[in-house]
Amino acid sequence: METAEALARRRRWLVLAAAMGFLIWQGSLALRGVLEAKMLLAIGLIGAGTFFASLVQSVRLGRSAQGRKARRVLNDELAQRNRLVALATGFWAMLVVSAIIFAAAELFRLNAGAAAHVILTTGVVTALVRFALLEGLLEPDV
Amino acid sequence: MSRLRNRLREYRARTRLTQAELGEAAEVSRRTINNVENGIFVPSTELALRLAQVLGATVEELFFLEPPDRAEID
């Protein structure tokens, strides 16, 4: 049976992989017209694949019967608090980017779809990265 | 303002438990125990009671409010 510690370590990296996947996926959509369509499709598929595969894997962590206790430990109250803090950080990041885009729209003509992409991507990626960091991504393994 | 302090490390050392062992007994992660010991995370009443039970102490023995500094009062 995998220990809760090992599962937590795997989850941190899966969440980071999901963030990077989402960034690549949305980045490929934002680069339409800049890069060749086939290349963008390939990049987008890699990004989306990484995002969804990482998300599914992180949800399935410790799903086996023996892993039930480890899963409870994995979702203890510190993890729940970290999740809330990460969501709040993502929300604030979206607000800040929205304000910047709002101000920039006074100076430049901006595409609403592109603006929505940037806002959404910022919120999702910031929340995921923040959660991985709060869960000790940069801390040495004990 | 008074601050919440704890003697978790002291009581854990008395019972010769590692952070991981205490975490396992209280069904939380080693990181949670570490965060509580360092005053980074304030546990819920339920977790405080579970920790006290595992360590054979009362919640008041483990957690206490540090009185505000004299200077702060003045």
Which two tokens mark A113?
């779809």
| Residue A62 binned pLDDT confidence (cut-offs 50, 70, 90) | low
B22 contacts chain A (CB < 8 A): no
Q: What are the backbone angles phi and psi of residue B66, rounded to the nearest 5°?
A: -80, 125
Task: Provide, as residue numbers in chain B, all residues whose Cβ is less than 8 Å from the Cβ of A4.
Answer: 23-24, 29
Domain residue limits, chain A: 4-134
pLDDT digits (tens, 9 = 90+) for A16-38: 999 999 999 998 887 777 778 88
Q: Say yes or no to pLDDT of A112 above 80.
A: yes
Residue B20 in contact with partner chain A when CB distance is under 8 A:
yes
Task: Count CA within 13 A, CB hemisphere, residue B65.
Answer: 5
The answer to whether B38 faces chain A, any CB pair under 8 Å, is no
**CB contacts < 8 Å between A and B, how many?**
37
B4: left (phi over 0), alpha (psi -120 to 50) or beta: beta
Asked whether the beta carbons of residue B28 and residue A78 sit closer than 8 angstroms, the reply is: yes
- B23 touching chain A per CB within 8 A: yes
CB A86 within 8 A of CB A130: yes
Q: Which domains does chain B have, with CATH numbers?
A: 3-64 (1.10.260.40)
Q: State the pLDDT confidence band at A1, using cuts at 50, 70 and 90.
A: very low
Rounded to the nearest angstrom, the gap between the alpha carbon of residue B7 and the centroid of all alpha carbons in its chain is 6
Q: How close B14 comes to chain A (CA, Å)?
A: 22
Show the tokens assigned to A134.
């709060």
Reported ipTM: the value is 0.82
Question: Among residues of chain B, what percentage have pLDDT more than 90?
Answer: 81
Give per-residue burial for B9-38: e unless 16+ CB within 10 Å, then b.
eebbeeeebebbebbbbbebbbbbbbbbbe
